[in-house]
Amino acid sequence: MVVRFVVGLPAPELVKQPVLISTAHVIWDPEFCDVKLVQSLMLMSELKNFVEKSQMSFRPGAGKLDCSSMPMILCGDLNSLPDSGETAINSMSALID
């Protein structure tokens, strides 16, 4: 899985509420549902790390903040059915550890 971040942000003092927008393409093959699950877990872990790092730049000295305090839009081709484990992981209200 390749994780790339393309970030174009205004100066932190101009940001009132940062929003994370992410896109992903998960393996399509139904024979590899375990790979889809691992890719989903890795994606959520990387998003959590990104949120934690970016919150420090927007609120220096504030300490570690709750990851669910930053709204997130996850787009992409997840190649999963609505009742799959991958969809359940991606639709949780908070990022997982």
Residue 88 or residue 71, greater confidence: 71
Give how many domains the chain has, as a whole number.
1
Which residues are known catalytic residues?
Answer: 77
**Per-residue confidence band for 4, with pLDDT thresholds at 50, 70 and 90:** low
Range of the domain at 34: 17-90
Q: Is residue 9 part of a domain?
A: no
| pLDDT of amino acid 6 | 57
> For the segment 15-61, what is each residue's pLDDT rounded down to a tens digit?
777 788 888 888 888 888 889 888 888 888 888 888 888 777 766 66
| pLDDT of amino acid 90 | 63
Q: Is residue 5 part of a domain?
A: no
Task: Decide if 95 contacts 22 (C-beta within 8 A).
Answer: no
Q: Could you tell me which of 77, 75, 86, 74 has the C-alpha nearest to residue 32?
A: 86
Q: Is residue 78 part of a domain?
A: yes
Q: Is residue 8 part of a domain?
A: no
Q: Is residue 7 part of a domain?
A: no
- Predicted TM-score (pTM) of the model is 0.68
Q: Is residue 26 part of a domain?
A: yes
What lies within 8 Å, CB to CB, of 64 at 6+ separation is: 52
Q: Is residue 97 part of a domain?
A: no
